[in-house]
Protein backbone atom coordinates (compact mmCIF):
# COMPACT_ATOMS: atom_id res chain seq x y z
CA UNK A 1 0.00 0.00 0.00
CA UNK A 2 3.01 2.32 -0.26
CA UNK A 3 1.71 4.40 -3.16
CA UNK A 4 -1.89 4.42 -1.92
CA UNK A 5 -3.19 6.57 0.90
CA UNK A 6 -6.23 5.73 3.08
CA UNK A 7 -7.92 8.83 4.47
CA UNK A 8 -11.05 9.87 6.26
CA UNK A 9 -13.02 12.03 3.84
CA UNK A 10 -12.39 15.75 4.37
CA UNK A 11 -14.41 18.77 3.26
CA UNK A 12 -11.99 19.29 0.36
CA UNK A 13 -12.95 16.02 -1.34
CA UNK A 14 -16.48 15.50 0.05
CA UNK A 15 -18.31 16.27 -3.20
CA UNK A 16 -15.88 14.23 -5.32
CA UNK A 17 -16.24 11.29 -2.91
CA UNK A 18 -20.05 11.53 -2.85
CA UNK A 19 -20.10 11.39 -6.65
CA UNK A 20 -17.70 8.42 -6.66
CA UNK A 21 -19.84 6.39 -4.21
CA UNK A 22 -23.01 7.33 -6.13
CA UNK A 23 -21.47 6.06 -9.38
CA UNK A 24 -20.49 2.76 -7.76
CA UNK A 25 -23.68 1.95 -5.86
CA UNK A 26 -26.49 3.92 -7.49
CA UNK A 27 -27.70 5.30 -4.16
CA UNK A 28 -28.94 8.88 -4.71
CA UNK A 29 -26.12 11.43 -4.78
CA UNK A 30 -27.90 13.59 -2.19
CA UNK A 31 -27.92 10.69 0.30
CA UNK A 32 -24.13 10.42 0.05
CA UNK A 33 -23.68 14.19 0.22
CA UNK A 34 -25.84 14.37 3.35
CA UNK A 35 -24.12 11.47 5.12
CA UNK A 36 -20.61 12.63 4.22
CA UNK A 37 -21.47 16.18 5.30
CA UNK A 38 -22.72 14.84 8.64
CA UNK A 39 -19.46 12.90 9.04
CA UNK A 40 -17.45 16.12 8.78
CA UNK A 41 -18.83 17.46 12.08
CA UNK A 42 -15.89 17.34 14.49
CA UNK A 43 -17.12 14.95 17.18
CA UNK A 44 -19.22 12.72 14.93
CA UNK A 45 -18.25 9.04 15.15
CA UNK A 46 -20.98 7.62 12.90
CA UNK A 47 -21.38 8.20 10.01
CA UNK A 48 -17.77 8.17 8.91
CA UNK A 49 -16.47 7.83 5.34
CA UNK A 50 -13.11 6.80 3.94
CA UNK A 51 -11.41 6.63 0.57
CA UNK A 52 -8.16 5.28 -0.80
CA UNK A 53 -6.26 7.68 -3.03
CA UNK A 54 -3.76 6.89 -5.75
CA UNK A 55 -2.25 10.35 -6.07
CA UNK A 56 -5.47 12.42 -6.26
CA UNK A 57 -7.70 9.72 -7.77
CA UNK A 58 -10.18 7.79 -5.61
CA UNK A 59 -9.58 4.08 -6.20
CA UNK A 60 -11.48 2.57 -3.26
CA UNK A 61 -13.75 3.52 -0.43
CA UNK A 62 -16.20 2.55 2.27
CA UNK A 63 -18.38 4.07 4.93
CA UNK A 64 -19.53 3.38 8.46
CA UNK A 65 -23.23 4.12 8.99
CA UNK A 66 -25.85 3.21 11.59
CA UNK A 67 -27.73 0.69 9.44
CA UNK A 68 -27.05 -0.64 5.95
CA UNK A 69 -30.70 -1.10 4.96
CA UNK A 70 -31.59 -4.25 6.92
CA UNK A 71 -34.04 -5.30 9.62
CA UNK A 72 -31.57 -5.80 12.49
CA UNK A 73 -31.42 -2.23 13.78
CA UNK A 74 -29.69 -3.54 16.94
CA UNK A 75 -26.61 -4.59 14.94
CA UNK A 76 -24.87 -1.25 14.56
CA UNK A 77 -22.79 0.47 13.23
CA UNK A 78 -22.39 -1.07 9.78
CA UNK A 79 -19.53 -0.91 7.31
CA UNK A 80 -21.06 -0.15 3.92
CA UNK A 81 -20.23 0.66 0.34
CA UNK A 82 -16.99 -1.33 0.25
CA UNK A 83 -15.63 -0.93 -3.26
CA UNK A 84 -12.25 -1.15 -4.99
CA UNK A 85 -11.88 -0.10 -8.63
CA UNK A 86 -11.48 -3.20 -10.76
CA UNK A 87 -7.99 -2.33 -12.01
CA UNK A 88 -6.76 -2.10 -8.39
CA UNK A 89 -8.28 -5.33 -7.08
CA UNK A 90 -6.22 -8.28 -5.80
CA UNK A 91 -3.57 -5.97 -4.33
CA UNK A 92 -4.68 -6.12 -0.70
CA UNK A 93 -6.34 -2.71 -0.80
CA UNK A 94 -9.69 -3.92 0.56
CA UNK A 95 -7.98 -5.65 3.48
CA UNK A 96 -5.85 -2.60 4.30
CA UNK A 97 -8.91 -0.38 4.11
CA UNK A 98 -10.98 -2.65 6.36
CA UNK A 99 -8.17 -2.88 8.92
CA UNK A 100 -7.68 0.89 8.85
CA UNK A 101 -11.37 1.52 9.46
CA UNK A 102 -11.62 -1.04 12.28
CA UNK A 103 -8.63 0.59 14.02
CA UNK A 104 -9.94 4.12 13.45
CA UNK A 105 -13.34 3.23 14.86
CA UNK A 106 -11.70 1.48 17.83
CA UNK A 107 -9.83 4.72 18.62
CA UNK A 108 -13.25 6.41 18.73
CA UNK A 109 -14.62 3.85 21.20
CA UNK A 110 -16.35 1.48 18.77
CA UNK A 111 -14.79 -1.96 18.80
CA UNK A 112 -17.61 -3.95 17.17
CA UNK A 113 -18.64 -3.39 13.56
CA UNK A 114 -21.17 -5.19 11.36
CA UNK A 115 -21.33 -5.68 7.61
CA UNK A 116 -23.95 -7.11 5.23
CA UNK A 117 -22.81 -8.83 2.06
CA UNK A 118 -23.59 -11.54 -0.43
CA UNK A 119 -19.91 -12.51 -0.52
CA UNK A 120 -18.83 -15.72 1.13
CA UNK A 121 -15.29 -16.22 2.44
CA UNK A 122 -13.97 -12.79 1.33
CA UNK A 123 -14.37 -10.93 4.62
CA UNK A 124 -13.18 -13.88 6.73
CA UNK A 125 -9.68 -13.20 5.35
CA UNK A 126 -9.70 -9.92 7.25
CA UNK A 127 -10.96 -11.10 10.64
CA UNK A 128 -14.70 -10.83 10.04
CA UNK A 129 -16.96 -13.68 11.19
CA UNK A 130 -20.35 -14.74 9.86
CA UNK A 131 -22.97 -13.80 12.48
CA UNK A 132 -26.44 -14.43 11.04
CA UNK A 133 -28.78 -13.85 8.13
CA UNK A 134 -30.70 -10.55 7.96
CA UNK A 135 -33.56 -9.29 5.84
CA UNK A 136 -32.59 -6.41 3.56
CA UNK A 137 -35.11 -3.58 3.25
CA UNK A 138 -37.36 -4.47 0.31
CA UNK A 139 -35.30 -7.56 -0.53
CA UNK A 140 -36.95 -10.96 -1.02
CA UNK A 141 -33.88 -12.95 0.03
CA UNK A 142 -31.91 -12.95 3.26
CA UNK A 143 -28.40 -11.46 3.30
CA UNK A 144 -25.28 -12.50 5.24
CA UNK A 145 -24.34 -10.40 8.30
CA UNK A 146 -20.73 -10.36 9.50
CA UNK A 147 -19.20 -9.07 12.72
CA UNK A 148 -15.72 -7.74 13.53
CA UNK A 149 -14.63 -7.37 17.15
Residue 39: the pLDDT is 96
- Helix 29-39 with 14-25: angle, nearest 10 deg: 140
Residue 131 pLDDT exceeds 80: yes
State the pairing for strand pair 78-84/113-117: parallel
pLDDT, tens digit, 9 for 90 and up, residues 77-124: 999 999 999 999 999 999 999 999 999 999 999 999 999 999 988 999
Residue 1 scores a pLDDT above 60: no
Query: CATH number for the domain including 74?
Result: 3.40.630.30
Is residue 12 classed as helix, strand or coil in its secondary structure? helix
Integer Cα distance of 58 and 78 in angstroms: 22
Its domain, for residue 32, covers: 4-148
The domain tally of the chain equals: 1
Model pTM?
Answer: 0.93
Residues 39, 32: Cα–Cα separation, whole Å: 10
Taking only the tens place, the pLDDT of each residue in 10-66 is: 999 999 999 999 999 999 999 999 999 999 998 899 999 999 999 999 999 999 999
Amino acid sequence: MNKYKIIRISAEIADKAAEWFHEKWGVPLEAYKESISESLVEKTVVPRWYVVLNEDKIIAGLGVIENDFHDRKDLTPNVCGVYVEEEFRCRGIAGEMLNFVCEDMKKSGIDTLYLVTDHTSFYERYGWEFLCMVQGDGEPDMTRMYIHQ
